[in-house]
């Protein structure tokens, strides 16, 4: 019973250990990074949807989206362009 409880506890907390930590940045660096990510993603989206050509792999695109979401959550930023 105890082993089962410990295993369950480990499984519940494991995703927290795998999550990327929030960077220790000042507001200016956060704003610059978010602006750059948003601009890059907008360019990739536009190119893909209007010209039908992916400028980057799906993996890199997804990682960039996830990075933007992480920064948004870490610093309490609104979603948007």
16-74 pLDDT, tens per residue? Answer: 445 678 999 999 999 999 999 999 999 999 999 999 999 999 999 999 999 999 999 99
Mind listing the domains of the chain with CATH numbers? 26-81 (1.10.287)
CA distance 19 to 75: 15
Task: List, as one string, the DSSP characters of 27-60.
Answer: HHHHHHHHHHHHHHHHHHHHHHHHH---SS-HHH
CA distance 45 to 54: 8
Do residues 49 and 10 touch, judged by C-beta distance below 8 A?
no
- Fill in the DSSP letter of residue 19: S
Q: What is the pTM of this model?
A: 0.69
Residue 31's Cα: distance from chain center in Å?
15
């Amino acid at each position: 019973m105890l082993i089962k409880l410990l295993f369950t506890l480990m499984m519940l907390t494991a995703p927290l250990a795998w999550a990327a930590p929030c960077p220790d940045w000042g507001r200016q660096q956060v704003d610059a990074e978010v602006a750059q990510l948003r601009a890059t993603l907008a360019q990739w989206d536009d190119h893909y949807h209007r010209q039908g050509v992916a400028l980057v792999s799906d993996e890199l695109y997804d990682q960039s989206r996830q990075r933007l979401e992480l920064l948004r959550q870490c610093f309490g930023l609104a979603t948007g362009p």
